[in-house]
Amino acid sequence: MFSALEYESALEYESDYDPEDDVEDWGPPAVDNISLITKSSDEKLYYFNSSVTNKPGFDFEVFTFDENDQAIPESTIYSPTLEKLAKVDGELSSSSMIVDNLLVRIFDFRPNTEEDLEKAIITVETCDITDILAGKKGEYDLEVVYEKTYTYYDLAGDFGEVINTSAGPVYVYPDKEEDNESYHVVSLNGNQAVKDTILQDPYYISDSTSDIMYIDFKNGHYFSKDFSNEALKRVEIESGEPLYDGADDKTLFIKEDMRNPEIYPANDHSFYLIDEEEIFVIDNDLELIDSVSYDSEEDYVYGHYYLGNNEYDSEEDYVYGHYYLGNNEFPHNR
């Protein structure tokens, strides 16, 4: 066992990491690269560390802290996409989330070869982390559930994204090779409630609206971002009709310059919108219930990481490592 401060030097993967390697390509694991945090049924926190190593396909090191603040390696997770692209020239960006014990990764790869400069390869991978959260240590692999090569001309850079829904995580994407007014929805956990769902593109309902952010299958509507005023708009799945406030479309202003917002269900009639600085509790009828915020730059606090069951986690940065500050309860929700 080793402390968080020692974690960087202690995890060298049994000499796989070579200090003489090209530092632009590889580096030792570092505890300050926490990407995700989730919580097991026995109340233990699991940290997903995304440091780069020279292990082919390596994506995450999963670790916990014991009662003495000792960091304990639990498991490693590998990505076939990262392994495949390790030696390919191009630009790779990615994002990740955990919903209902499902780790979801989306990769956007732009080849640098002359014949492929106009292409983008989008890959979505998932991994059931139930066994990891049950304390079963080992190596785990992500699996590809969606992959497609797009061109900038086809989709003008809009290749879809992973979002949360009342039926679990999904990948939503516009298929403009078929039509210009719909988004296709792919379930990432096999939920049949999502099967064959096609949503109207919110842009064609209101030209200031884009980015589907959350789908509520239980109540038959979804929420999108109104970029004209940094607000949320609700749209019915069946009819495409927005929620009205009198004769006008009803919207809820959130804040200027939302940073990487994510939405998670709170209960059957409200949800959380979480970005890098604030948490909002919002009613399905677009009424703001409550909110909490902090100044991350001043307080050196990072998060928020949604743990499920109406809990979130924040981490304080002491330069050499992140330290768990304890569970926090969300603001009031109905």
Q: What is the pLDDT of residues 31-84, one digit of tens each?
A: 556 788 888 888 888 989 876 667 889 999 898 887 777 778 899 999 999 999
The closest of 39, 119, 35, 117 to 79, measured between CA atoms, is 35
315-320 average pLDDT score: 44
What digits encode the pLDDT tens for the residues 135-171? 999 999 999 999 988 776 655 446 678 888 888 889 8
Token output for 187:
């379930």
Q: What is the pLDDT of residue 59?
A: 93
Token output for 255:
């804040």
What digits encode the pLDDT tens for the residues 93-134? 888 888 889 999 999 898 887 776 678 888 999 999 999 999
What digits encode the pLDDT tens for the residues 236-283? 888 878 888 888 888 888 877 776 778 888 888 888 888 777 888 899
pLDDT at 319 over 50: no
Q: Are 223 and 263 in contact (CB under 8 A)?
A: yes
Write the secondary structure of 182-226 as one string of H (helix), E (strand) and C (coil).
EEEEEECCCCHHHCCCEEECHHHHCCCEEEEEEEECCCCEEEEEE
Top-confidence residue, 208 or 254:
254
Of the ranges 211-220, 227-236, 315-324, the best mean pLDDT one = 211-220
Q: What is the pLDDT of residue 10?
A: 30
Q: What is the pLDDT of residue 84?
A: 92
Top-confidence residue, 271 or 312:
271
Of the ranges 22-26, 209-213, 286-290, 325-329, the best mean pLDDT one = 286-290
pLDDT at 16 over 70: no
Q: What is the pLDDT of residue 183?
A: 82
Q: What is the pLDDT of residue 145?
A: 92
Top-confidence residue, 135 or 205:
135
Confidence band, pLDDT 50/70/90 cuts, at residue 330: very low
Top-confidence residue, 231 or 293:
231
Q: Identify the structural domains of the chain with CATH numbers, from first to last.
A: 166-293 (2.40.10.480)
Q: What is the pLDDT of residue 285?
A: 94
The closest of 161, 168, 167 to 99, measured between CA atoms, is 168
Dist. CA 301–CA 322, nearest whole Å: 9
Backbone dihedral region of 230: left (phi > 0), alpha (psi from -120 to 50 degrees) or beta?
Answer: left
Tell me whether the omega of the peptide bond preceding residue 304 falls within 30 degrees of 0, making it cis: yes
Read off φ and ψ for residue 39, nearest 5 degrees: -130, 135
Say how far residue 64 (Cα) sits from the centre of its chain. Answer: 20
Q: Among 97-111, 174-188, 308-322, which is the least confidently predicted range?
A: 308-322
Top-confidence residue, 288 or 14:
288
Read off φ and ψ for residue 186, nearest 5 degrees: -115, 120
Dist. CA 208–CA 245, nearest whole Å: 17
Confidence band, pLDDT 50/70/90 cuts, at residue 203: low
Q: What is the pLDDT of residue 38?
A: 87
pLDDT at 24 over 80: no
Tell me which H or E stretch contains 155: helix 152-155
Q: Which pTM value belongs to this model?
A: 0.73
Top-confidence residue, 162 or 312:
162
